[in-house]
Amino acid sequence: MKSLVRLLIAAAGLALSSAAAHAQGSATQAYPSKPITVIVPFGPGSATDTVARVVAQHLGAALKQSIVIENKAGANGAIAAAYVARSAPDGYTLFMSGNSPHSAAPSLNKSIAYDPVKDFAPVTRVGSFTLMLVLHPDVPAKTIPELIAHAKANPGKLSFGSGNTSGVVAGETLKVWAKIDIVHVPYRSAPQAIQDLLAGRVSLMFNDLTTGLPHVKADRLRALAVTRIQRSTLIPELPTLDEAGLKGFDMDSWAGLLAPANTPPDVVNRLNTELRTIIENPEVKAKLASVGFEAFSSTPGEFGDFVKVQLAKWGKMIKDAGVQPQ
């Protein structure tokens, strides 16, 4: 009798497990059954926003579902990151993140309401932004050595704007490495900073190609160098800061899509498959290149490992630059 009861209990357990698995599988197969929201940590018109909208357009077509872009700027991307970390892990809230909220904010902010590794499920890298150092034309410098000489001859007279953590860390690193005194002027987003640079209210800034290159081509700003250790394929005529004399200067800004932790693996894999097809499409790559972004994808695992490496790298850069948490 006891054996029969045990068998019945075991059978019931297997039936429940099978039903639960079937229900989860059915839910995954039905995904997505409603619009998906992509959270962007910067304002409209920013480089991250621009890239997110290009990718979202194609992802919506692939999934046959609407993709909504929602901008949540502030606190170096930490506001947006905390929101996504608290969102339901169902694949309907995604995060177009980057080095600001995931690599730098943990060291630049005194406290953050999320764990950049534990609270997210990596989906795929999307690519890299190239940062360049741009000046207002009134600054009498056409090379990095000339800029450093001018800044040393005029301590405290030049200022640099920043609209994201890349701009903050690059500017502060330049100050330390070149031993110059320039004043930092922070902004909530890059488009705001570049408007003041165009008006001459700040002297220079480290800016992405997406928002800066059109002004350089129109001779409204002067570009001196890029921050990556190798020249950008998008603007190969510009030297690197390493070539210009700041040996070892290497800063790469990245973008990638993540979901809240515990998002079902099948949903993550579905998103990864669709996104990799989109990002590696030559037409999409060309579209993103036209706005100053180098597109490439990854597996979720590769992206997760990359996030951990970048978190340590940016933490060291911020410490070495002497930037105090705010």
Q: What is the DSSP string of 171-202?
A: HHHHHHHHT---EEEE-SSHHHHHHHHHTTSS
Do 145 and 279 share a domain, yes or no? no
Residue 13 has pLDDT above 70, yes or no: no
Share of the chain above pLDDT 90, in %: 74
Q: Does 142 reside within a domain?
A: yes
Most confident of 5-9, 187-191, 240-244: 240-244
Do 273 and 313 share a domain, yes or no? yes
Run of H or E including 314:
helix 300-321
Q: Does 237 reside within a domain?
A: no
Which tokens hold the place of 317?
């850069």
Do 119 and 138 share a domain, yes or no? no
pLDDT at 28: 55
Token pair 């930092």: residue: 184
pLDDT at 290: 86
Task: State the average pLDDT over residues 274-295.
Answer: 94
Do 154 and 302 share a domain, yes or no? no
Do 214 and 264 share a domain, yes or no? no
Q: Does 232 reside within a domain?
A: no
Confidence of residue 18 (pLDDT cuts 50, 70, 90): very low
Task: State the average pLDDT over residues 237-262.
Answer: 94
Token pair 């809240």: residue: 260
User: pLDDT of 293-317, one tens digit each?
Assistant: 899 999 999 999 999 999 999 999 9
For residues 150 and 158, what is the distance between their CA atoms, to the nearest angstrom? Answer: 9
Confidence of residue 16 (pLDDT cuts 50, 70, 90): very low
User: pLDDT of 220-237, one tens digit each?
Assistant: 999 999 998 989 888 899
Q: Does 81 reside within a domain?
A: yes
Contacts of 258 (CB under 8 A, 6+ apart): 84, 94, 95, 97, 102, 120, 121, 122, 123, 303
User: pLDDT of 106-149, one tens digit each?
Assistant: 999 999 999 999 999 999 999 998 899 999 999 999 999 999 99
Angle at 200 between CA 194 and CA 203, to 5 degrees: 75
Which tokens hold the place of 205?
């800034």
Least confidently predicted of 14-18, 163-167, 266-270, 322-326 = 14-18
Q: Does 238 reside within a domain?
A: no
Residue 69 has pLDDT above 80, yes or no: yes
Taking all residues of the chain, what is their mean pLDDT, rounded to a whole number?
90
Range of the domain at 307: 34-128+252-321
What end-to-end distance do the CA atoms of the chain give, in Å?
Answer: 69
Do 74 and 210 share a domain, yes or no? no
Do 49 and 120 share a domain, yes or no? yes
pLDDT at 163: 84
Do 123 and 135 share a domain, yes or no? no
Do 112 and 150 share a domain, yes or no? no
User: Phi and psi at residue 93, in whole multiples of 5°?
Assistant: -130, 120
Which tokens hold the place of 127?
């690519």
Residue 19 has pLDDT above 50, yes or no: no
Tell me, what CATH number does 159's domain have? 3.40.190.10
Do 158 and 122 share a domain, yes or no? no
Most confident of 93-102, 182-191, 204-213: 93-102
253 Rama class: left (phi>0) / alpha (psi -120 to 50) / beta: beta
pLDDT at 189: 79
More confident residue, 205 or 43: 205
User: pLDDT of 23-33, one tens digit each?
Assistant: 444 445 689 99
* CA 325 vs CA 101, 141, 190, 214, 221: distances in Å: 14, 32, 20, 33, 31
Residue 194 has pLDDT above 70, yes or no: yes
Q: Does 246 reside within a domain?
A: no
Packed helices 300-321 and 265-279: angle between N→C axes, nearest 10 degrees = 80
Do 49 and 181 share a domain, yes or no? no
Nearest partner of 185 among 207, 165, 163, judged by Cα: 163
Task: State the average pLDDT over residues 277-296.
Answer: 93
Task: State the average pLDDT over residues 149-155.
Answer: 97
pLDDT at 240: 95
Contacts of 41 (CB under 8 A, 6+ apart): 48, 72, 73, 77, 79, 80, 81, 95, 96, 97, 98, 100, 101
pTM of the model: 0.83
Which amino acid is present at 69? I
pLDDT at 22: 45
Number of domains the chain is built from: 2
Task: State the average pLDDT over residues 96-112.
Answer: 93
Q: Does 137 reside within a domain?
A: yes
Residue 10 has pLDDT above 60, yes or no: no
Q: Does 20 reside within a domain?
A: no
pLDDT at 7: 46
